[in-house]
Amino acid sequence: MLAGLILGFGLTDIISISDFSKKDIETVLEKAAEMEKLPKDKKNRVLADKIVASLFFEPSTRTRLSFETAIQNLGGQVIGFADAGVSSTKKGESLSDTIVNISGYADIIVMRHSIEGAARRAAEVSNKPVINGGDGANQHPTQTLLDLYTIKKQFGKIQGLNIGLLGDLKYGRTVHSLMYALQKFGNVNVYCIAPESLRMPYEIIEDVEGSIKVEETTKLGDFLPELDVLYATRIQKERFVDEFEYEQIKNVFILGKEILKSTKKGFKIMHPLPRVNEIKPEIDKTDAALYFEQSKNGVPVREAILSTLKDAKK
């Protein structure tokens, strides 16, 4: 497999954050910053002669629209579908066959699928670059990259920060991926704040300890004054076998303005969105709210990825 043509970038597909080196991540973040400053008339020539397939076998609004905006900003054309119900999957075609066929029409493939490993398989069978927009509970690498970009843009750095991860740390793919990404940078203090039943899996903590410091607690107040960032996630009712347990903890980590009395200057709250009730709207207009900017950063980060992969040869 030949590397992408951008110096320092070693990938021809974006499947999992585990494939990235620290240098690869830094290349994407630098490119995203460049994309934000690039004049429109230059930007819309980047994918001028390219067709990008947007294959959302599983519905998504934010990720799909963010990718399609990025493609159009870069001057590319989009083909594809937003739901597996309208694809040949409904006729029983295998994913592998669908991808091989579509590789004949498009220059780059962006996909989301409910089956874990689907994007990895797509990258195996396709001769075009594949970008994983989410595969089941497994990976969502562009989310992690935009999370890192948001942190870097806000604080000027990633290392040396105190980052709290809050909520569903057991099933949350965004926080798992963020842990592994932070491990590549090293020298970060991570505070895992979750109910006992939704703790960060010990295998992940085992994997990353040594590069980053990890502390766990069930109480938000324990580390709040030290945090630079609090990354909140939704506690999903469907994860709980015991509805009583869910009812007990669902409101434990609701963030309201009162928490800002205990936080330090420059403290920011992030969230992969959509939120339900875990961040009260009263926080939206405060300096702490970074989540809408975070979502917006998805466009330059995806522009950076598309631009980086456009001439990659497999």
- Which residues carry out catalysis? 62-63, 91, 112, 140
Cβ contact 78:111 at 8 Å? no
80 with 58: CB under 8 angstroms?
no
| 103 lines the binding site for other proteins (CB under 8 A) | no
Q: Could you say whether residue 217 binds other proteins (CB under 8 A)?
A: no
203 lies in the site for other proteins, by CB under 8 A: yes
Buried b (16+ CB within 10 A) or exposed e, 105-140: ebbbbbbbbeeebbbbbbbeebebbbbbbbbbebbb
Beta-carbon-side half-sphere exposure of residue 282 (alpha carbons within 13 Å):
8
Single out the segment in contact with other proteins by CB under 8 A; choices: 134-142, 164-172, 247-255, 258-266: 134-142
The count of other CB atoms within 10 Å of the CB of residue 263 is 17
Contact between 114 and other proteins per CB under 8 A: yes
- Between 162 and 201, how does the x/- string for binding to other proteins read (CB under 8 A)? ----------------------------------------
Side-by-side strand order, sheet with 268-270:
213-217, 189-193, 162-166, 229-232, 268-270
Q: Binding to other proteins by residue 100, rule CB under 8 A?
A: no
Identified binder of other proteins from the candidate list 137, 210, 225, 264, rule CB under 8 A: 137
Give the count of residues interacting with other proteins (CB under 8 A): 18
Which residues, 6+ apart, have CB-to-CB distance to 305 below 8 Å?
14, 28, 131, 142, 145
The distance in angstroms from the start CA to the end CA of the chain is: 5
Closest CB to other proteins among 86 and 115? 115
Q: For residue 274, say if its preceding peptide bond is cis, omega within 30 degrees of 0.
A: yes
Q: Does 238 bind other proteins (CB under 8 A)?
A: no
Contact assessment for residue 120 and residue 16, using Cβ atoms and an 8 Å cutoff: yes
CA-based R_g, the chain, Å: 20
Among 21, 61, 94, 159, binds other proteins (CB under 8 A): 94
Please state, in angstroms and rounded to a whole number, the distance separating the CA atoms of residues 2 and 136.
28
- Binding range to other proteins, per CB under 8 A, among 53-61, 113-121, 188-196, 212-220: 113-121
User: Is the C-alpha dihedral spanning 114, 115, 116, 122 positive or negative?
Assistant: negative
Q: Looking at 120, 170, 213, 239, which residue binds other proteins (CB under 8 A)? A: 120
Among 5, 8, 18, 59, indicate the residue that binds other proteins (CB under 8 A): 18
In angstroms, give the least distance from the CB of 12 to other proteins: 16
> Which residues from 139-158 bind other proteins, rule CB under 8 A?
139
Given 64, 121, 128, 234, the residue binding other proteins (CB under 8 A):
121
Cβ closer to other proteins: 122 or 229?
122
Residues that bind other proteins (CB under 8 A): 16, 18, 94-96, 114-118, 120-121, 135-139, 203
